[in-house]
Amino acid sequence: MNPENKTFHILTFGCQMNAHDSDWLGRALGAHGWTRAPEDRARVVLVNTCSVREKPERKVYDLLGRLSRLGADVPGRFFAVGGCVAQQVGRGFFERYPLVRLVFGTDQTARVPRALDALASGAEPGPLALLDFESAFLPRALHLPALAGEPGAGGEQGAVQPETGDAALARPGQAFVSIMQGCDNFCAYCIVPYVRGRQKSRPAADVLAEVRALALRGVREMTLLGQNVNSYGLDRHGDGTGFAALLRQVCAVDGVTRVRFTTSHPKDLAPEVVEAFGTLPQLCPALHLPLQAGSDRVLAAMGRGYDMRRYLDLVAALRAARPGIALTTDLMVGFPGETEDDFRQTLEAMRAVGYESSFSFAYSDRPGTRSVDMAHKIAQAEKLDRLARLQALQEELTARALAARVGERAVVLLEAESRRQDGRGPVAWRGRDEGGRVVNVPLGGGSGRAGRLLDVKVVQAKKHSLRGEAVGEPW
Ligand code: SAH
Ligand code: SF4
Ligand code: F3S
């Protein structure tokens, strides 16, 4: 054992909540004297896991198997498993993988730096399991990202970001701000309420303090994060501030240019929030509004709490409040009992709304959820066939939505420089427009552009992105 060796590596799976937790963990460990190292050299490998579908869970087991065969020469090497699979499997990891010395649940991230210090120094023999749910949103030290231009800042200087499995990362100039934890909806298929616990809203004052601190560090775009942000403040931990009021307060913070939020549940999207799209210029014209299925029968069996009529009324109201709003969604095929006719209604709904993009999944049984016991499970081959048809339609809708942008103006938040592989031709920058679409812009080099905004004219639509021409300089 070498107590002096405080090197770590983080692998992250799952949704933005996990990416956000890993991001924070990386910075918090830095503040505790830890430094990053490659996965086969690090003393500690942290794996932040997701269990929302069958496959990601299997991925964790495969990954731990692979990691166990690496780095045998690193003295005192061990693993920490966190997130949703850790919450579910708990101490089970200790028996299966002897190198796992810490498991931590989704409410326990704040306690991980100390636990790793204790395990690494030998003060705590381990193995250690931190799995309790807390009764309120645990405050944790902010550990903000580095200022633009500081060592460790985003963009060319790289490295505040966690190493990633498949989770989305915070991008330069942009930050996720957690406003709530957990979920109370218990959709019939979903494991999230079991692995993330009950909904706990974070006090508005804490949210605003973080937003102000980030804006002072040059962050232009804030994404408010929660499993169901539309019910922010409605649980007993709320301080009376509802989601629409929180949005107004966040948009009013000096330096905040863009605000997004995710995820929305259609049943809880209040008229005031729809209206906010028309009245708050900082609120980006983009909304991820998970539909799941287009058949009322399936929606009812899923326990989603809305029907197609309510959903399409919301879409109409959103488009009236903010014409051109980019709508994206989550869709699931093969829920127990889903017929070909039900599935066709999902395709029809996709056409009716004209989603710009979507995440789509084949239903899988998750332990402890209601749908496990439902009759008429759909064969895997049928699910995959429906998924392929759905994704083919989405390609068509995406192409149509992108083509409609050609000739329009956009404001792009610059993320990263991408050189042409042959080394010739102008340097391009990649970023995202207000609607969240990827835009590539040929633009002279020069560091320090990551995280800045640029006015562009859209000149071409590619399969999954746009090409723009700069109008003026980044600001
Ligand atoms: N809170 C978010 C979604 C969280 S899970 C919401 O309510 O929209 C992300 C997506 O995973 C879900 O929208 C759903 O489409 C998918 N998903 C959840 N459980 C699943 C399961 N058992 N099988 C397949 N997909 C699932
Ligand atoms: Fe899961 Fe439903 Fe909660 Fe989303 S709203 S996290 S799908 S239970
Ligand atoms: Fe996965 Fe947990 Fe998020 S199950 S989707 S990482 S809440």
pLDDT bin (cut points 50, 70, 90) of residue 136 is confident
Determine the distance separating the centroid of ligand 1 and the alpha carbon of 192, expressed in angstroms: 8
Instruction: Give the mean pLDDT of the chain.
Output: 90
Mean pLDDT of the region 446-465: 89
| Residue-level pLDDT at 445 | 66
pLDDT bin (cut points 50, 70, 90) of residue 424 is low
Q: Which residues pair with 358 in a beta bridge?
A: 329
Which has the higher per-residue pLDDT, 72 or 393?
Answer: 393
| Residue-level pLDDT at 448 | 75
What is the amino acid identity at position 176?
F
Mean pLDDT of the region 400-425: 85
Contacts of 289 (CB under 8 A, 6+ apart): 264, 266, 269, 311, 314, 315, 327, 328, 329
Share of residues in the chain with pLDDT > 90 (%)? 78
Mean pLDDT of the region 202-211: 94
Mutate-to-test residue for ligand 1 from 15, 18, 50, 52, highest number of ligand atoms within 8 A of CB: 52
Quote the CA–CA distance of 153 and 46 in Å, as a whole number.
Answer: 22
CB of 288 closer than 6 A to ligand 1?
no
| Residue-level pLDDT at 426 | 66
Which residue's C-alpha comes closest to atom 2 of ligand 2?
187
Determine the distance separating the centroid of ligand 3 and the alpha carbon of 183, expressed in angstroms: 11
CB of 229 closer than 6 A to ligand 3?
no
Q: Which atom of ligand 2 is nearest to the CA of 228?
A: 5
| Residue-level pLDDT at 164 | 45
pLDDT bin (cut points 50, 70, 90) of residue 4 is confident
| Residue-level pLDDT at 37 | 96
CB of 364 closer than 6 A to ligand 1?
yes
Ligand nearest to the CA of 53: 1
Mutate-to-test residue for ligand 1 from 190, 191, 311, 366, highest number of ligand atoms within 8 A of CB: 190
| Residue-level pLDDT at 443 | 85
Determine the distance separating the centroid of ligand 3 and the alpha carbon of 173, expressed in angstroms: 25
Which residue's C-alpha comes closest to atom 7 of ligand 3?
192
Which residue's C-alpha comes closest to atom 7 of ligand 1?
265
| Residue-level pLDDT at 161 | 36
| Residue-level pLDDT at 157 | 27
| Residue-level pLDDT at 153 | 42
Contacts of 367 (CB under 8 A, 6+ apart): 88, 191
| Residue-level pLDDT at 236 | 84
Mean pLDDT of the region 69-93: 93
pLDDT bin (cut points 50, 70, 90) of residue 91 is very high
Of 150-154, 210-214, 452-456, the poorest mean pLDDT is in 150-154
> Which two three-digit tokens encode residue 384?
């995959």
Determine the distance separating the centroid of ligand 1 and the alpha carbon of 53, expressed in angstroms: 8
Please list every protein residue whose CB sits less than 6 Å from any atom of ligand 2. Answer: 183, 185-187, 190, 192-193, 227-228, 265
The answer to whether 64 and 100 are in contact (CB under 8 A) is yes
Q: How many CB atoms lie within 10 A of CB 253?
A: 16
- The model's pLDDT over 166-186, given as tens digits with 9 standing for 90+, comes to 444 567 889 999 999 999 999
Mean pLDDT of the region 408-427: 79
In this predicted structure, the answer to whether residue 108 has a pLDDT above a threshold of 50 is yes
Determine the distance separating the centroid of ligand 3 and the alpha carbon of 446, expressed in angstroms: 38
- The model's pLDDT over 292-305, given as tens digits with 9 standing for 90+, comes to 999 999 999 999 99
pLDDT bin (cut points 50, 70, 90) of residue 73 is very high
Nearest to 411 by CA among 379, 371, 443, 457: 457
| Residue-level pLDDT at 156 | 29
Crossing angle of helices 243-251/271-279, nearest 10°? 20
| Residue-level pLDDT at 446 | 67
In this predicted structure, the answer to whether residue 267 has a pLDDT above a threshold of 90 is yes
CB of 83 closer than 6 A to ligand 3?
yes
Quote the CA–CA distance of 240 and 243 in Å, as a whole number.
Answer: 10
Which residue's C-alpha comes closest to atom 24 of ligand 1?
363
Mean pLDDT of the region 211-223: 93
Q: Select the highest-mean-pLDDT range: 8-12, 16-20, 443-447.
A: 8-12
Name the pTM for this structure: 0.90
Determine the distance separating the centroid of ligand 2 and the alpha carbon of 185, expressed in angstroms: 6
Domains and CATH numbers, the chain: 7-130 (3.40.50.12160), 167-403 (3.80.30.20), 409-470 (2.40.50)
The answer to whether 277 and 161 are in contact (CB under 8 A) is no
In this predicted structure, the answer to whether residue 8 has a pLDDT above a threshold of 50 is yes
